[in-house]
Amino acid sequence: MAKLPAPPETIIAKFGPHLNFAPQEGYPGRDEPDAVVKTHCCFCGMQCGIQLLVKNNKVVGFEPWMEFPFNEGRLCPKGVQRYLQDNHPDRLLEPLERVEGEGFRPIAWEPALDRVTAAIRKIQASYGNDAFAVLSGVSLTNEKSYLMGKFARVAIKTANLDYNGRLCMVSAGAGNKKAFGLDRASNSYADLEHAEVILVTGANVSETFPTLTYWLWRARDNGAKLIVVDPRVIPLARTADIHLDIRPGTDSALYGAMLKYLGDHDMLDHDFIREHTTGFEDTLAAVQEYTLEWAEQVTGIDREKIRQAAELWGKAGTSFLLHARGIEHHSKGVENVLGCINLVLATGRIGRPYCGYGTITGQGNGQGGREHGHKCDQLPGNRDITNPEHRKYIAGVWGIPESELPGKGLTAWELIEAIHRGEVKGLLSICFNPLVSLPNNNYVREALEKLEFYVCIDFFLNETARHADIVLAGSLHEEEEGTVTTAEGRVVRIRRAVTPPGNARTDTSIILDLAARLGAADKFTYADSEAIFNELRVASKGGTADYYGITYKKIEDHMGIFWPCPSEDHPGTPRLWEDRKFATPDGKAHFNPVHFREPSEVTDEAYPVVLTTGRVVSQYLSGTQTRRIGKLVGINPEPLLEIHPELAAKYNIRQRETVRVTTRRGSGEFPANIVETIRKDTVFIPYHWPGKKSANQLTIGTLDPVSKIPEFKVCACRLEPLDRFTQPGEIHAFDSI
Amino acid sequence: MEVTAYKTDMEFFVDMQRCIGCKACEMACAECETNGHESMIHVNYVERAVTIQTTVQVCMHCDDPVCAKVCPADAITKDDFGVVHSANTARCIGCSNCVMACPFGVPIKEEKYDMMMKCNMCYDRTSAGKKPMCATVCPSQALFYGTREEISRMRPNSTPVREFIFGAQTVTTKVNIMMPKGSTHLKIH
């Protein structure tokens, strides 16, 4: 059913990606905009403040927003060029329906929405409510995340709702909840400034969160020592005091060895451990075999460097630990996160100035999007969907009997497996491009082809949307009012700069229209985004992610408010746990024993090389937006295979030679970039590209048992040089099919 | 009559150790109307095979600019604020003398315009009291625009250097390179 309706060349020729280098009408008149709108970047979790210049209902440029406290005007190349996604030639301006053999043709809104409604009803009548699933995304505002959670459960009445944060930082969320009972970075990044030691692990900060590097340098200027853990010499690692070049998949062994070293050399905060934590003895006992010698053997890091790192960490008076997908995209991502938290708790450096811990959210609303209920196991306010009291409260807010509130559904990857099994027959997705962003994407494509009906809400026809029956032309970031929550936990305002062009509609209005058609109009009556936010505030009240005291006006007045903020006279909470009362039932922080285990796939004779994946500075996630902006594509026109000269020599691979990389899931071809800045046993491919250039046709769908996040960051591959050479930028129009 | 608000105590500082090679500066520079949307700042890998180190190439705004000296058409001027301007469109003959003469390798002859173009330190912004676009957006602040007092307070381990020795020739500039504390000049062999 959902095979491509036409050859990909036909679809791409019409819907792109095409490269936009400048506003369509050129730049004239840009000096005198109709409006200058203070909002935030649409990309990563830093959510840098930016001003958009608007002329004739189009975003025609940007001006740095110097007053916004986090970035004070600073931006990365994606932020600078983000305005070019507005008024882009590929922008969907009206709903589309698939036409077999031809591709897509416009359809009016009424019949489009009618078809979607009829398909949902038909599938649910035949196979049950849960046979229709919803996949949401965390580039959406808090308001839209909340709305999607309510829409799926109240209007569609399905349990099977999940979100693309499942590919991002759910391991961190699960670890945070286990250890602290609450899922948020403990401090604002301003607390980095006077930290004595900063440990950055599994986070290519300089390419994925470039504006955060400023805060790290502020700390270093004040004397902070920087430890970076990464299998590559990432730009941040180049000048680090210690770079631990870890073998992918062995992070918890490193943290375990460091913890043992702290214990052996009595670099522990005994008072903090005794009074404010549980589980320390078991946790320390779990790492008693993890000597520096053992850790060197497992992680591939020189034991002396591990010792130096442990000494630095152990002796510091203040410290900050930051991690991201590098340790979370694993089948033991939660264990990795807990290993990090154990180091923080053992030294008692949390909940006080210049001490902190946190994951860095990769998606724009990676933080807020994981709090308001479009996760399969969660209700707004970070409530648990299996907890009867939580269910009763939210059912009350939504005006439905608790018995009608669906239970826990399948996670994103499990949904794909359920489609394969024939249990899920229909799918609605918004702001999610699983064909590029999920692992083992040939398997994902086969799943899409098995769907009876697939409807997609998006503003560009992304690679997954090409498989849709109906595409609903939704809205860009700058076309709706709302809020997002930054990686620091700061809730900020997203302001509408323009209205959707052509016949495109706001995502919110599309969801409300569908809800009405599905018979739930009375549950979805909102005058505007602020009304949705006000309901969200009530829904989150009393939950761990309590937004009740945050109002649009307060955000405006203070350029953001940190949650939790339980009442309107509460100023918000930039630094958590200063009172040493953690959000766990016993009020204590919990150590969790971590036993090292290998990744789900290790190298062998057939697949002798470790493959890891990640990002480049000019591209964002599945590239739906950034692969359409000319100058960003110019920086990284294609994914390169980073490989060490010794490994390249072993396989007779030469610079820029095309290499076939094969795993048990598939194979792709990538030009080699031979560099000494990567481990000798590991190759790296960035994952932003689709089709033949997709890293995710190679990666593995093994899930972390707790967070259900796939193991993107490590699998085994083999390499084969193809004696074909390309020059940088020598890209052919349909290379990415 | 328009009066400039040029803050003469503001200087430009480049700190290569902070450069993460992200090219935000290039992207932002190309937003300027006066450059024809070409970037006048360039970020390059030093030797990608062995290091991730990148460098920023920007006009150093020499006190005694050799590019202006060698210009046969008198198209390059330095103003009272020390800014060496891009070639005057009406005068530039595209001879590339400036390109060959600059010790820092900065001016570029843009073939499509048949003239030399280079950074004018965002004169449209700096003359109105703003900071140059590249330094404003630079996420790691490898590029900083501010006063000498600010930079010495913010970066106690570094010293700005604006004296460059090329063989027998000494060049002083408006743009500073951040060097290890105590450095006085940079000798280029």
pLDDT digits (tens, 9 = 90+) for A376-420: 999 999 999 999 999 999 999 999 999 999 999 999 999 999 999
Question: How far, in Å, CA of A354 to CA of A194, rounded?
Answer: 6
Q: Do B51 and A676 touch (CB under 8 A)?
A: yes
pLDDT band at residue B35 under the 50/70/90 scheme: confident
Amino acid B37: pLDDT: 85
SS3 A643: strand
Q: A270: which 2 tokens?
A: 């005994």
Output the CA–CA distances (angstroms, integers) from residue A477 to A481, A509, A530, A670, in the order listed: 9, 14, 16, 33
Average pLDDT over residues B89-94: 90
> Helix count (H) and strand count (E) of chain B?
6, 9
SS3 B163: strand
pLDDT band at residue A30 under the 50/70/90 scheme: low
Q: Do A239 and B17 touch (CB under 8 A)?
A: yes
Q: By C-alpha distance, which of B180, B178, B106, B186 is closest to B140? A: B178
Amino acid B113: pLDDT: 84
pLDDT digits (tens, 9 = 90+) for A472-505: 999 999 999 999 999 999 999 999 999 999 999 9
Mean pLDDT computed over every residue of chain A: 96
Question: How many Å from the N-terminal Cα to the C-terminal Cα in chain A?
Answer: 20
pLDDT digits (tens, 9 = 90+) for A690-717: 998 999 999 999 999 999 999 999 999 9
Q: Is the pLDDT of residue A173 over 70?
A: yes
Q: A594: which 2 tokens?
A: 């971590």
Output the CA–CA distances (angstroms, integers) from residue A593 to A37, A202, A322, A343, A681, in the order listed: 49, 20, 20, 12, 29
Amino acid A424: pLDDT: 98
Question: How far, in Å, CA of B156 to CA of B139, rounded?
Answer: 20
Mean pLDDT computed over every residue of chain B: 93
Amino acid A168: pLDDT: 87
Tell me the percentage of chain A whose pLDDT exceeds 70: 98
pLDDT digits (tens, 9 = 90+) for A94-111: 999 999 999 999 999 999
pLDDT band at residue A312 under the 50/70/90 scheme: very high
- With contact defined as beta carbons under 8 Å apart, do B61 and B46 qualify? no
Task: Say which of B23, B140, B155 has its CB closest to residue A77.
Answer: B23
pLDDT band at residue A735 under the 50/70/90 scheme: low
pLDDT digits (tens, 9 = 90+) for B124-143: 899 999 999 999 999 999 99
Amino acid A481: pLDDT: 98
Amino acid B36: pLDDT: 79
Residues of B whose CB is below 8 A from A677: 50-52
pLDDT band at residue A548 under the 50/70/90 scheme: very high
Question: Could you tell me how many residues make up chain B?
Answer: 189
pLDDT digits (tens, 9 = 90+) for B71-89: 999 999 999 899 999 888 8
Amino acid A540: pLDDT: 98
Question: How far, in Å, CA of A349 to CA of A194, rounded?
Answer: 13
Instruction: State whether residue B56 sits within 8 Å of chain A by CB.
Output: no
Average pLDDT over residues A459-468: 97
List residues in chain A touching B: CB distance below 8 A: 22, 27, 30-31, 61-62, 64, 66, 71, 73-77, 79-81, 206-207, 210-211, 213-214, 217, 221, 233-236, 238-239, 617-618, 631-632, 635, 645, 655, 673-677
pLDDT digits (tens, 9 = 90+) for A646-686: 999 999 999 999 999 999 999 999 999 999 999 999 999 99
Amino acid A2: pLDDT: 61
Question: How far, in Å, CA of A87 to CA of A623, rounded?
Answer: 17
Q: Is the pLDDT of residue A737 over 60?
A: no
Give the residue from chain A lying closest to B48, CA to CA.
Answer: A675
Q: Is the pLDDT of residue A732 over 60?
A: no
pLDDT digits (tens, 9 = 90+) for A421-453: 999 999 999 999 999 999 999 999 999 999 999
CA A733 to chain B, closest CA, distance in angstroms equals 24
Prediction ipTM score: 0.96
Average pLDDT over residues B109-121: 87
Average pLDDT over residues A557-562: 97
- With contact defined as beta carbons under 8 Å apart, do B34 and B124 qualify? yes
Question: Cα–chain-centroid distance for residue A557?
Answer: 29
Amino acid A731: pLDDT: 62
Q: Do A80 and B18 touch (CB under 8 A)?
A: no
Amino acid B133: pLDDT: 96
Residues of A whose CB is below 8 A from B22: 76-77, 206-207, 210, 617-618
Amino acid A713: pLDDT: 97
Higher per-residue confidence, A26 vs A263: A263
Average pLDDT over residues B164-175: 95
pTM of the full structure: 0.97
Strands A197-201 and A225-229, sheet pairing: parallel
pLDDT digits (tens, 9 = 90+) for A182-204: 999 999 999 999 999 999 999 99
Q: Do B22 and A77 touch (CB under 8 A)?
A: yes
Average pLDDT over residues A34-49: 97
Amino acid B114: pLDDT: 85
Q: How many CA atoms lie within 13 A of A539 on its CB side?
A: 29
Amino acid A78: pLDDT: 98
Residues of B whose CB is below 8 A from A211: 139
Amino acid B108: pLDDT: 87
